[in-house]
Amino acid sequence: MAATVREYVEGVRGGSIDPREEIPRFLESARELQKRLNPFITINESVEFKTEGALAGLPISVKDNICTKGIMTTAGSRILEGYVPPFDATVVSKIKGEGAFILGKTAQDEFGFGTFSTNCAYGIPKNPIDTGRSTGGSSGGAAALAAAADFPHIAIAQSTGGSITAPAAFTGTVGITPTYGRVSRYGLIDYANSMDKIGVIAKNVYDAALGLSVISGYDPMDSTSANLNTTDFTKSASPDKPRIALPKQYFLSTTDRRVAELVIRTAERLESEGMTVEQVDMPFTRYSIPAYYMIAITEASTNLAKFCGLRYGMQGELKGNFDEYFSKVRSEGFGTEAKRRIILGTYARMSGFREAYYIKAMRVRARIIREFKSVFQNFDAIITPSMPILAPRFSDIAEMSPIETYNMDMMTTAPNMCGLPTISMPVGRIDGLPVGMQLIGDHFAEERLIGLSQIIEGLQ
Ligand code: GLN
C-alpha cells in the first residue's frame, strides 16, 4: 500500500497503482473507523474518480456543511436530515475535477456551533488517541479521520472561529485555515458569512498544502472571493530569515502551563536555528472572544431563518398557520446550542440594539485587525498555542458552562474574525496527548506560513 498521498497520486497517474484495486480496501477501512470513532455522518459508496489530476484517485472527505451533489448534507443538524443538494460546492467541483472521489461527509458540531464536536445530531466523533476524549470541533470528524486513516486521504474542513485549528491540535494533525476569500464559500452552508472559511486537515504540511492548492482560487459565484491566481502551495518557500512574534496575551495563566512551555521551547529552538523570535504586546486580544461571539451569533441567527421545514431537509405535518408550523419544526430540528444562538443573535440585531452590539463588535474587529497589521509590519508570523488545554475528556466537557466553552477559543477567535490565515501543527506530546502550535500570518501570506511550517516540521 502507498504510504503517502504523494506516492499514491504519483502511482495512480503513472499507472503503477490501480485505484479500482485500492478503493474497496479504503472503504472497508472507513467502515471500521466509523464503528470505532464515528468520524462520518455519511460514507459515500458510489465512487467516481479519474486517473489524472493533482488528486488522481484520492479519497477526500468533506465536512458535512459543504454541499455535495447527490450526497446527504446536514451541517450536523437534525433539521437538515435528508437534504440532498442538487449541486456541488465550488470546492467539491474542484477536487472532483482533479481526479479525487468523495469518501464521505464528516461529523461536526451542528452548523459549526462548538469547540469539541459534542453538539452533534448524528453521534459524537471520538479522538483516535484516546476515545474518551474530544477530537475538538467543530470539524471533529475531519480531524479524527485525518489522524486515524491508514490510507492516503485529505479532509476538507471549515472554520468560522477555530474549527480547523482546535481539532487539528487535539488529534495531532495539520490544519490550514486560509485567508478569508482565498477559497470560495459557494455551496457552504453559512454559519457567519463574514468569517467562514473552507480549509484542510491532513497528516502533514505537504498534504494540507496540496489540498489547499486545489480548492483555492477566484470564483465568480462567491462575491467575497479574492481575485487571485491559483498557487501551488506545496512549493511554498519560507522567508530567508523568518521573524517570529510571540504575543504575551496568548501565554497567560489561563493556558495550561505545559502547553505554553512546549510552544515556547519550540520557539527557542527556532531562535537557535537563526530565526528572530521576539515577544510582542497585543492588548486588544482580550476583546476578541466577546466581539467574535457577538458577530457569530448575529450572523448565524439570520442564516438559520431559512430552515423552516419547507425548502430544505426536515418536514413536518402541514398543520396550523405558518408560525405554528415553523415553530414546531424548528423546536424539533435544532439542538440546544443552535437555539441558544438563535435567541441571543436575534436579540442582538433587533432595532435599537444593533448599534450597541453588532455594529460595535464590528468596530472592535476593525481595531483588532489594525493591531495584527502593525505586528506584521515587523514580523512574518505570530506563534501561539493552538488551544489553551489538552484534548479534554467528555466527562469534563459535560461540566463546562457555555461561557467556559466559548473561552476555550481564546487563541483562535482573533485571527479567524480578522480573516487571517493560520496553520495548526503538532509540536510534541504531553501525557501522550498532542500539542498544537498555531502560526498566524498576514492576509494572503499563506506561502510564507506554509514554507515556515515545513521547516518546523522538518526539525522534529
Ligand atoms: N467554537 C467556535 C464557535 O462555536 C468556533 C467554531 C467554528 O469555527 N465553527 O463559534
Read off the pLDDT of residues 147-157 as tens digits, 9 standing for 90 and up: 999 999 999 99
The whole-angstrom separation of Cα 311 and Cα 448 is 44
Polymer length of the chain: 460
Percentage of the chain with pLDDT > 70? 99
Residues 151, 275 within the same domain = no
Looking at the fold, whether 441 and 389 belong to one and the same domain comes out as: yes
252 and 192 fall within a common domain: no
Claim to verify: residue 192 and residue 324 sit in the same structural domain: no
Is residue 361 one of the residues assigned to a domain?
no
Atom 10 in ligand 1: residue holding the nearest Cα: 113
Average pLDDT estimate for 212-218: 98
Whole-angstrom distance, CA of residue 438 vs CA of residue 410: 12
Atom of ligand 1 nearest to the CA of 296: 10
Bridge-based pairing of strands 381-385 and 243-247 is parallel
Q: How far is the CA of 394 from the centre of ligand 1 (A)?
A: 18
- 360-379 residue pLDDT tens: 999 999 999 999 999 999 99
Q: How far apart are CA 37 and CA 142, in angstroms?
A: 11
Q: What is the pLDDT of residues 271-295, one digit of tens each?
A: 999 999 999 999 999 999 999 999 9
Ligand 1: distance of its center to the CA of 225 in Å? 21
Cell of 212: 489547499
d(CA 170, CA 432): 11
Out of 117, 139, 163, 301, pick the active-site residue: 163
Contact 116, 136 (CB under 8 A): yes
* CA 164 to ligand 1: nearest atom: 8
Answer yes or no: is 144 within a domain.
yes
C-alpha cell at 121: 445530531
pLDDT, position 265: 98
Alpha-carbon separation of residue 302 from 124, 190, 286 (angstroms): 26, 10, 27
Single residue among 202, 235, 268 that ends a domain in this structure: 235
**What pLDDT sits at residue 235?**
96
Number of domains in the chain: 3
Cell of 435: 500539542
The residue among 241 and 351 whose pLDDT is bigger is 241
Asked whether residue 362 is domain-assigned, the answer is: no
Range of the structural domain that residue 275 is part of: 243-285+367-459
In this prediction, residue 230 has a pLDDT band, given cuts at 50, 70 and 90, of confident
Cis preceding linkage at 223, omega within 30: no
Mean pLDDT of 306-332: 92
Q: For residues 250 and 94, what is the distance between their CA atoms, to the nearest angstrom?
A: 36
How far does the centroid of ligand 1 lie from the alpha carbon of residue 138, in Å? 6
Q: Which of 77, 110, 115, 180 to mutate to test the pocket of ligand 1 (most atoms within 8 A of CB)?
A: 115
Q: What is the CATH number of the domain that holds 149?
A: 3.90.1300.10
Is residue 85 very low, low, confident or very high in pLDDT (cuts 50, 70, 90)? very high
**pLDDT, tens only, 155-184:** 999 999 999 999 999 999 999 999 999 999
Please say if the pLDDT value at position 1 is more than 60.
no
Choose the catalytic residue: 61, 63, 126, 134. 63
CB 414 within 8 A of CB 279: no
| Distance in Å, CA 274 to ligand 1 centroid | 36
Same domain, 130 and 106: yes
Determine, yes or no, domain membership for 65. Answer: yes
CB 133 within 8 A of CB 394: yes
Q: Which of 61, 117, 134, 138 is catalytic?
A: 138
Q: Are residues 106 and 201 in the same domain?
A: yes
The pLDDT score that the predictor gives to residue 42 is: 98
All cell numbers assigned to 138: 467543530
Residues 248, 222 within the same domain: no
Check residue 3 and give its pLDDT.
Answer: 63
Q: How far is the CA of 147 from the centre of ligand 1 (A)?
A: 21
Out of 195, 213, 235, a domain closes at 235
Mutate to test the pocket of ligand 1, among 409, 412, 422, 438 (most ligand atoms within 8 A of CB): 409
138 flagged as catalytic: yes
Which residues make Cβ contacts (< 8 Å) with residue 310, sequence separation at least 6? none
Residue type, 117: S
Question: What is the number of the ligand 1 atom nearest to the C-alpha of 115?
Answer: 1
Collapsing DSSP to helix, strand or coil, 44 comes out as coil
Q: Exposed (0-12), middle (13-18) or buried (19+): which is 210, by Cβ within 10 Å?
A: buried
Contact 287, 334 (CB under 8 A): no
> Do 406 and 350 have their domain in common?
no
Q: From the centroid of its chain, how far is CA 103?
A: 18
Burial zone of 72 (CB within 10 Å; 0-12 exposed, 13-18 middle, 19+ buried): middle
**How confident is the model at residue 436, as a pLDDT?**
98
**pLDDT tens for residues 383-427?**
999 999 999 999 999 999 999 999 999 999 999 999 999 999 999
Q: What is the C-alpha separation between 116 and 394, in angstroms, rounded?
A: 9
Identify whether 143 is part of a domain. yes
User: Taking 60 as the threshold, does the pLDDT of residue 2 lie above it?
Assistant: no
Probe residue for ligand 1, chosen from 77, 113, 344 as the CB with the greatest number of ligand atoms within 8 Å: 113
Domain-terminating residue out of 334, 355, 376: 355
What is the C-alpha separation between 132 and 352, in angstroms, rounded? 46
| Per-residue confidence band for 263, with pLDDT thresholds at 50, 70 and 90 | very high
pTM for the predicted model, two decimal places:
0.98
Rounded to whole angstroms, what are the CA distances from 232 to 211, 214, 220, 276, 457? 10, 8, 21, 27, 19
Whether residue 315 is found in the same domain as residue 378: no
Instruction: Please list every protein residue whose CB sits less than 6 Å from any atom of ligand 1.
Output: 112-115, 138, 159-163, 191, 296, 409
Indicate if 31 and 95 belong to the same structural domain: yes
Task: Specify whether 63 is catalytic.
Answer: yes
List the beta bridge partners of residue 174. Answer: 202
Integer distance in angstroms from the first to the last C-alpha of the chain? Answer: 25
**pLDDT value at residue 229:** 83
Specify if 360 maps to a domain: no
User: What is the pLDDT at residue 460?
Assistant: 86
Residue nearest ligand 1's atom 9 by CA: 112
| H or E stretch at 26 | helix 19-37
What's the gap in Å between 324 CA and the centre of ligand 1? 30
Q: How far is the CA of 115 from the centre of ligand 1 (A)?
A: 6
Residues 4-30, mean pLDDT to the nearest whole number: 96
Q: What mean pLDDT, rounded, does the chain reach?
A: 96
Check whether residue 135 and residue 260 sit in a common domain: no
Residue 193 and residue 132 share a domain: yes
Q: Which of 109, 386, 424 to mutate to test the pocket of ligand 1 (most atoms within 8 A of CB)?
A: 109
Tens digit of pLDDT for each residue in 45-75? 999 999 999 999 999 999 999 999 999 999 9
Would you say residue 308 lies in a domain? yes
d(CA 51, CA 236): 26
Q: What is the DSSP letter of 41?
A: E
Q: Which of 110, 112, 104 is nearest to 23 (CA)?
A: 104
Task: Give the per-residue pLDDT at 351.
Answer: 84
Instruction: Kindly tell me the number of DSSP H helices and DSSP E strands found in the chain.
Output: 15, 11
- Over residues 118-135, the mean pLDDT reads 98
Residue 154 lies in a domain: yes
